[in-house]
Structure 1
Amino acid sequence: MLDLLSAYWPHIVFVLSVLMGATAAIHVAMTKEEVRSAIGWVGVILLSPIVGALLYLFAGINRIRRKVVFNQRRLKNKAFGPHAASFDVGDDRVASEFGRRFLAMKTLGDRVSRWSITSGNQIDLLDGGDATFRAMLEAIGNAQRSILLETYIFDRDRIGRRFVEALSAAVDRGVEVRVLVDAVGARYSVPSVLGMLREGGVTVDVFNGNVIMGLRLPYANLRTHRKIMIVDGSVAFTGGMNIREAFSREFEGEACAIDTHFRLKGPLVADLFAVAAEDWNFASGELLVGDAWQVGSPERLPDDPMLARVVASGPDKSVETNHKMLMGAFSVARSSIRIVSPYFLPDRELISALATAARRGVDVDIIVPGSNNLTLVDRAMTAQFDQILKSGCRIWRAEGAFNHSKLMVIDGRWTYIGSSNMDPRSLRLNFEVDVEVFDIAFAATIDKRISQVLSLADEVSLTALRARAFPVRLFERVLWLGSPYL
């Protein structure tokens, strides 16, 4: 056998390279929607036999085919009963309260998101890690039936241990508890927190991989970046906050990272539950049904305030949903676009939409951290700043501790919050969940928070950017070339 291989190995390698290259190239041609991406991958595959095909297998396949467990009608019938439709918002109400251009945003959301805009919602802003962790731990401590927690990072640190203790105590009380941690995010702690959770009786799983044996291939690049916690089907938490002490002033002092999280009540809770429950089913195979997992019927609040919608996106049937929502929002803006994002690497379409808005006279302000926790990402996004600044947009570097918040307000009327960064990973590779809010008072709350960050920020100058040393600018552009996978 060895003699045969030694004699014919060039022929074997040639046949293998042809088969692998042809298969990969056909997959590229049939699945890629962006022609530049398709041409690039075909070039890599043809110019690097075998290696190119393997690279495409690991990094180029960015779609997961999975069965949709819940759909909107089925979930609402189970959760709310016959009165569910009374929370759905019609076109006339949006048009009368927010104008026809924001009615266009409702129409866009109706067509790209699985969830309807609902009334009767309540969203409370949780300022920073200490307030967020305190509220979440209190909710866990008061849980009576069920807790469903999905997160990207769950560290085995002092904050993580508090959550382990609280979740374990809930299990001891007879509460049904499920915890889903991303396979990549679980590796941020060595050893991971998964063992501690299991020792405490918590049912836990990892998304898209196994922490010990490795990631599920060929989907190693696809992660759940969602942060969702549902308690007793009546209260939800979502936003940008991971479970780690880096966000806690109690442990990190003034150097702690800044973030913004939210506590939600109302019809939004059922939709967030559906998103997390579908992810749990994908990872574990378990369907969360039964009395413990019923979503309670929300109380109708006075005047039915706060219209909002859950927007789930990811590399499956909801691919680029958040991207489409952003494109729509930039298009309807008339006076202001205000963005806070830790990682700002928009693609050419989003840059064009922002530039067009600025040229129409819209004030476009983009706030990014002055000091970033991911140096390579920061360098890559700096390389792209000139494309944005030369069109009349403004970019600001926020001083102080790293700000991980993801916030956006359009014209002081429409707000977008959640887990999505404005970078290729969040917009095309990650599973994300966001909430669009039609509410002037809530927009004012987020606007005030953005203004606080802006008051401590320095404006980025196009002249200063171009005056830096050529080797520095070249290095940043090289990093920018790899930005889709940073």
Structure 2
Amino acid sequence: MSSALDALRQLAAGIDWKTLLLTLWPLVAIFTAGHALLTKRDARAAWGWIAVCWLFPLAGPGLYYIFGINRVRTRARRFNVDRSDRDIGPAHATDIRNTPPEKPPVPGWLQEVARTADVLTRRPLLGGNEVVPLHNGEQAYPRMLAAIDGAREHVWLSTYIFDNDRVGRQFADALTRAHQRGVDVRVLVDDTGERYSWPRIGRLLQRRGVAFARFNPLRLMPPALHLNLRNHRKLLIIDGHLGYTGGMNIGVRHLAEDPQNKKRAVDLHFELHGPVVHQIAEVFAEDWRIAAREKLQLPVIADDAGGGAVCRAITDGPNEDFEQLNFVMQAAIAAARREILVMTPYFLPSAELIAALQGAALRGVRTVVLLPKRNNLPYVGWAAQHQLGQLLERGVRIRFQPGPFCHSKLFVVDGTYALIGSANWDPRSLLLNFELNVETYDPALARTLATHFAEVWQRSEEFLLRDAQHPGFLRKLRNALFWLFSPYL
């Protein structure tokens, strides 16, 4: 053994390491620069990484290997679901556009929005749904708990955060009761989101025999410490005919009427009845198969619930659903004739969405954005402020709403079209997370949401162009520095 080691030492001593490294560096630089050239979508990013690979011998390729390679898309391949055999849009037998209603289910000026979602999602538009807005945990949680207690066949729950607090334990107790009376209960929680409280709620559910799975768990061996690819969806499906989705996680934080709750957040959730619940169940089943490696039997499509909402589930994620929401939102902004309402807690839109909002305002569409005055993630709010000036310059109006922190996500167009669900207007939601939104063509619902928006707008503080242009040097520098990291916030 010692002789072998001596031979290796002699071999190493005889190598001219400087010459070897100088010989290898051009080869490594060519390979890494070529990788950047072939994989980067943005020319500026490609040029930047090519320069780094060549200007910094060995260190440049090393930096590119660590920070430049998009491992999000690589890792997401294992989450791919093949939907290529699905028909597109009206080709579905269940699509409401195949029936001869008294009036078209999609107004003429929104036809292109529907067509965009047809091609991207390969899901039909379904009529006969009812969508009920629920404000904060005070309205949403009692109805969700009652629905779990009334379940007869199955309860499927997926959430990003499931806190182990008094609200979380109420849900754990209801899920346990359902399991004990023979209901098929499945609970899926994102591994990172579950770590927001300790001890983790999954341990309690598993001890009680409830089927529980963690999405994309972090682990040391083999290494899987990535903080991206999180499942940010919030879904509750009861017996295939009743569903809940929106922005609300499970925890005391969403009890907004308790003044003693220092972390309280205002939010909107939605109760859905009708055929669209089947599409939401499909999304849960896909996520469960990935996390638990178990295929679920989907419920039958629910009957017409008697409502006037035409709906479709839109999934988004760094897999085959990449940028679906981004494209649908751009299409809806382009189609707008009268009014665009945006309410979101985190506002770091892509250059394409910024251009779309600017274009809408320039052609006379009332385009307004409502943001929280104090963000629960201050650095996200600072980065957002760096971008607001370019919107204000083109006529977009922006206001900051007073506390408590508003976590609601709303997008309403022309009092007819609305997007509801879990996605924010930031890169984490639109590029890195797995999200679910529901598009609705329902004037009654859109008017209700627009009325809520107007009430909040009236008590909010206007952010003017001069505020964006002259924030003070230190504040401007701070906002710009955090904006540099906006793709990762």
| 1:156 and 1:192 in contact (8 A); partners too | yes
Aligned to 1:209: 217
Aligned to 1:53: 65
State the Cα distance separating 1:216 from its structure 2 match: 3.1
Q: Deviations over 1:237-284 (max 9, x none)?
A: 111011121111465547521000011111111111111111111122
Q: Does 1:108 align with 2:116?
A: yes
Aligned to 1:324: 327
State the secondary structure of the residue aligned to 2:278: helix
Q: Does 1:427 align with 2:400?
A: no
State the secondary structure of the residue aligned to 2:156: strand
Structure 2 vs 1, CA of residues 445 and 53 (structure 1 numbering), >3 Å: closer, same or farther?
same
Amino acid paired to 2:294: E
Q: Using the aligned pairs only, state the percent identity.
A: 37
Aligned to 1:151: 159
Structure 2 vs 1, CA of residues 212 and 199 (structure 1 numbering), >3 Å: closer, same or farther?
farther
Amino acid paired to 2:370: I
Aligned to 2:385: 382
State the Cα distance separating 1:442 from its structure 2 match: 0.6
Amino acid paired to 2:152: Q
Amino acid paired to 2:115: T
Aligned to 2:229: 222
State the Cα distance separating 1:374 from its structure 2 match: 0.3
Q: Does 1:142 align with 2:146?
A: no
Q: Hey, what's the Cα distance between the residues in 2 that align with 1:5 and 1:387?
A: 62
Q: Hey, what's the Cα distance between the residues in 2 that align with 1:22 and 1:359?
A: 45
2:477 corresponds to which of 474, 477, 481: 474
Aligned to 1:231: 238
| 1:62 and 1:315 in contact (8 A); partners too | no
Amino acid paired to 2:300: G
Q: Hey, what's the Cα distance between the residues in 2 that align with 1:320 and 1:197?
A: 34
Aligned to 1:437: 440
Structure exhibiting the larger radius of gyration computed from Cα positions: 2
State the secondary structure of the residue aligned to 2:353: helix
Structure 2 vs 1, CA of residues 40 and 101 (structure 1 numbering), >3 Å: closer, same or farther?
farther
Amino acid paired to 2:141: F
Q: Does 1:295 align with 2:299?
A: yes
| 2:94 and 2:124 in contact (8 A); partners too | no
State the secondary structure of the residue aligned to 1:66: helix
State the Cα distance separating 1:3 from its structure 2 match: 3.7
Task: Give the CA RMSD over aligned residues.
Answer: 2.9
| 2:137 and 2:254 in contact (8 A); partners too | yes
Aligned to 2:180: 172
1:274 corresponds to which of 282, 293, 307: 282
Structure 2 vs 1, CA of residues 149 and 367 (structure 1 numbering), >3 Å: closer, same or farther?
same
Q: Hey, what's the Cα distance between the residues in 1 that align with 2:191 and 2:106?
A: 42
Aligned to 1:313: 316
349-358 or 169-178, larger mean C-alpha shift: 169-178
| 1:165 and 1:200 in contact (8 A); partners too | no
Aligned to 1:451: 454
| 2:73 and 2:318 in contact (8 A); partners too | no
Question: Structure 1 length as normaliser, TM-score?
Answer: 0.88
1:128 corresponds to which of 114, 136, 142: 136
Q: Hey, what's the Cα distance between the residues in 2 that align with 1:215 and 1:153?
A: 23
Structure 2 vs 1, CA of residues 397 and 320 (structure 1 numbering), >3 Å: closer, same or farther?
same
- For 1:354-433, list aligned pairs within 5 A: 354-433=357-436
Amino acid paired to 1:248: L
Structure 2 vs 1, CA of residues 209 and 118 (structure 1 numbering), >3 Å: closer, same or farther?
same
Unaligned runs of 5+ in 1: 76-83
Unaligned runs of 5+ in 2: none
2:463 corresponds to which of 457, 460, 464: 460
| 2:247 and 2:422 in contact (8 A); partners too | yes
1:161 corresponds to which of 165, 169, 181: 169
Q: Deviations over 1:336-395 (max 9, x none)?
A: 101101001111111111111101001111000011100000000011110111011001
Aligned to 1:78: none
Structure 2 vs 1, CA of residues 86 and 475 (structure 1 numbering), >3 Å: closer, same or farther?
closer
State the secondary structure of the residue aligned to 2:133: strand
| 1:246 and 1:252 in contact (8 A); partners too | no
| 1:152 and 1:182 in contact (8 A); partners too | yes
Structure 2 vs 1, CA of residues 281 and 97 (structure 1 numbering), >3 Å: closer, same or farther?
closer
Q: Deviations over 1:268-307 (max 9, x none)?
A: 1111111111111112211112xxxx423422344x6211
Q: Deviations over 1:85-109 (max 9, x none)?
A: 3453249869845532211111111
Question: What is the number of residues matched between the two proteins?
Answer: 472
Structure 2 vs 1, CA of residues 37 and 221 (structure 1 numbering), >3 Å: closer, same or farther?
farther
Aligned to 1:245: 252
